[in-house]
């Protein structure tokens, strides 16, 4: 009877803590449920401009036989198809789906810690601190990153079932299926079979015979590896993955990811890693020091060497897909998300806290205050960081706070967002950073050219042709001498060059630039207003008033406020 009452009490605690996780995370992310799609940060590619979100055999075949954006994530795409069917192009439904998956991940992690014989309060705090880390915001609020929360949920469910199978010495059939589904949601779960093996051999703490080890591990490991090879083969259709020997980057990443699980970064983009290690010295010092202190205290409270080794191996293993050893897209040096890596860190901390409670009962009050205070700080950091994910413009402006050179994709997407919204201040700021930092990149000429082109466009938006002219001159020189940069010539570049040339009475140059513009502009893909602007400018250069007024009338159908842009301003 006592045992039954004890079980009921523990079950009630688990239910209460699960509800608290739900309520706290829902409160944190509630403002973000109304955020629109981030069109200049992949949501357009994956959702709003994706013609393959209807549930048809052809679309399913497409996602299961070909990579999307250089990654094989068919299950993620199916989940977006489901949202599209239910919600259409209402972003709120997609946000709710992401948030529910994140909440379920957090509750599953709580159950996993509980199953590791960690008392409910510590398990709750460990799961909550993992979930409240500000770095989780981009995985939750950014709809395209459904990959993280979906693969995380499936991986955690797989591991929880695996723990149950280990207890009963059963073959983990359902766990193996969920592990494969997690892989089909995102390849970053590749270390999952290794995590299972490490848990079984070190953390579980009970020895098995070799036959029992084989019985438990053979199915999940072999089936998972088979699908991993299939996934790699399909992904290689667009980008096979390239090995890069960059030992300093590997060391930095293997320190940065676990360290920021405890001391989070609130910078939305992984910065460019430079050969100069001086900006990264704090991580090289603080991360090993933090790991040493955790291991030291773990030994102090009698956590076994096997468990310490197991947690370190799990954390290190989960970091491997993010190290940048294999470059798997054409622009990114490493995955920058900390969704799975931080699980190993907080499981280790929860284990240490549990042992501390047992070895030093007098510290319980202070440890509880410390954990609650940490969760409050994480909540505040996330609450302050969340609004930056409301619009792309806010997000890219935030990136400029970091004085180090940014990843190339920041410049590309940030300039597109600023250009699309007509935000000339942001566009100018990005252009200045591209010009300033261009030598840090392998394609330095291309970065310099792009920065000049965006600065030119920002000046034209302001109609400050005096400011635009120096950029025009440098671009014109590069256009003549850098033939290899042709892949970086966009329609708006020739359009802008023609405007400035016309302003300074270089009519022949303006006509030449317009000729190229009309040759490369695709009205189905590119901005129609730019096309009409170019037509109006061409009519003005030819003194063709009839065509000019016809074009102006057509432009006002799109946006009456933009008709001024076609009027050539003479000095």
Q: Per the structure block, which two tokens stand in for 146?
A: 């459904």
**Is pLDDT larger for residue 151 or for residue 329?**
151
pLDDT digits (tens, 9 = 90+) for 68-110: 887 889 999 999 999 999 988 899 999 999 999 999 999 999 9
- Assign 12 a pLDDT band (cuts: 50, 70, 90): confident
| pLDDT of 352 | 94
pLDDT at position 20 over 80: yes
| pLDDT of 527 | 63
- Assign 511 a pLDDT band (cuts: 50, 70, 90): confident
The total of other beta-carbon atoms located within 10 Å of residue 69's CB is 12
Q: What value does the mean pLDDT take over residues 474-493? A: 74
pLDDT digits (tens, 9 = 90+) for 159-175: 999 999 888 888 899 99
Mean pLDDT of the chain: 84
pLDDT at position 441 over 60: yes
Q: Per the structure block, which two tokens stand in for 364?
A: 């319980």
Q: Per the structure block, which two tokens stand in for 162?
A: 């695996």
Q: What value does the mean pLDDT take over residues 378-386? A: 94
- Assign 371 a pLDDT band (cuts: 50, 70, 90): very high
Q: Per the structure block, which two tokens stand in for 1?
A: 């009877």
| pLDDT of 154 | 96
Closest CA to 47 of 85, 3, 84: 84
| pLDDT of 271 | 62
Q: What value does the mean pLDDT take over residues 366-379? A: 94
Three-state DSSP at 71 gives strand
Closest CA to 97 of 38, 153, 161: 153
| pLDDT of 487 | 62
- Assign 370 a pLDDT band (cuts: 50, 70, 90): very high
pLDDT at position 413 over 70: yes
Q: What value does the mean pLDDT take over residues 351-369? A: 91
Domain ranges within the chain, ordered by starting residue: 13-236+344-389, 391-489, 494-571
Rounded-to-integer distance, Cα 506 and Cα 498, Å: 9
| pLDDT of 1 | 41
- Assign 151 a pLDDT band (cuts: 50, 70, 90): very high
Q: Per the structure block, which two tokens stand in for 293?
A: 């202190």
β-strand partners of 242 = 327
pLDDT at position 139 over 50: yes
Q: Which of the 8 DSSP states describes residue 330?
A: S
| pLDDT of 486 | 65
| pLDDT of 185 | 92
> Angle CA(154)–CA(26)–CA(151) in degrees, nearest 5?
15
| pLDDT of 42 | 83
């Amino acid at each position: 009877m006592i045992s039954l009452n004890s079980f009921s009490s523990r079950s009630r605690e688990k239910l209460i803590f699960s509800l608290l996780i739900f309520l706290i995370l829902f409160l944190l992310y509630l403002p973000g449920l109304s955020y629109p799609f981030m069109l200049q940060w992949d949501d357009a590619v994956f959702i709003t401009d994706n013609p393959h979100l209807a549930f048809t055999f052809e679309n399913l075949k497409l996602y299961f036989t070909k990579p999307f954006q250089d990654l094989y994530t068919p299950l993620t795409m199916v989940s977006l198809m489901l949202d599209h069917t239910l919600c259409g192009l209402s972003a709120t439904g997609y946000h709710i789906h992401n948030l529910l998956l994140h909440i379920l991940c957090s509750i599953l992690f709580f159950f996993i810690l509980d199953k590791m014989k960690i008392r409910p309060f510590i398990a709750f705090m460990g799961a909550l601190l993992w979930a409240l880390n500000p770095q989780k915001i981009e995985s939750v609020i950014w709809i395209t990153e459904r990959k993280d929360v979906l693969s995380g949920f499936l991986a955690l469910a797989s591991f929880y079932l695996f723990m149950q199978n280990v207890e009963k010495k059963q073959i983990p059939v359902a766990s193996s299926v969920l592990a494969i589904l997690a892989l089909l949601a995102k390849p970053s779960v590749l270390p999952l079979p290794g995590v299972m093996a490490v848990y079984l051999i070190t953390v579980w703490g009970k020895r098995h015979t070799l036959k029992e080890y084989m019985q438990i591990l053979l199915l999940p490991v072999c089936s998972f590896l088979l699908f991993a090879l299939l996934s790699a083969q399909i992904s290689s259709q667009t980008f096979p993955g390239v090995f890069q020997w960059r030992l300093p980057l590997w060391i930095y990443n293997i320190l940065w990811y676990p360290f920021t699980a405890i001391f989070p970064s609130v910078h939305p983009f992984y910065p460019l890693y430079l050969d100069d290690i001086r900006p990264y010295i704090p991580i090289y010092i603080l991360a090993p020091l933090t790991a040493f202190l955790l291991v030291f205290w773990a030994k102090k409270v009698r956590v076994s060497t096997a468990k310490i080794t197991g947690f370190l191996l799990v954390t290190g293993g989960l970091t491997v897909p993010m190290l940048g050893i294999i470059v798997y897209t054409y622009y990114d040096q490493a995955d920058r998300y900390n969704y799975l890596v931080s699980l190993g860190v907080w499981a280790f901390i929860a284990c240490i806290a549990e042992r501390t409670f047992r070895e030093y009962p007098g510290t319980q009050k202070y440890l509880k205050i410390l954990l609650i205070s940490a969760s409050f700080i994480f909540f505040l950091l996330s609450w302050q960081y969340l609004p930056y994910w409301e619009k792309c413009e806010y997000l890219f402006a935030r990136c400029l706070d970091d004085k180090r050179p940014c990843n190339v994709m920041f410049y590309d997407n940030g300039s597109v967002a600023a250009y699309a919204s007509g935000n000339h201040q942001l566009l100018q700021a990005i252009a200045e950073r591209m010009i300033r930092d261009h030598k840090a990149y392998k394609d330095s000429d291309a970065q310099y050219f792009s920065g000049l082109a965006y600065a030119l466009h920002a000046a034209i938006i302001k109609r400050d042709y005096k400011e635009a002219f120096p950029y025009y001159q440098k671009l014109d020189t590069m256009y003549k001498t850098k033939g290899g940069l042709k892949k970086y010539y966009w329609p708006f570049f020739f359009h802008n060059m023609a405007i400035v040339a016309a302003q300074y009475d270089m009519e022949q140059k303006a006509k030449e630039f317009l000729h190229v513009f009309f040759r490369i502009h695709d009205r189905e893909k590119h901005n129609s207003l730019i096309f009409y602007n170019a037509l109006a400018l061409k009519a003005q250069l030819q003194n063709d008033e009839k065509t000019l007024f016809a074009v102006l009338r057509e432009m006002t159908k799109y946006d009456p406020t933009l008709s001024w842009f076609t009027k050539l301003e003479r000095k």
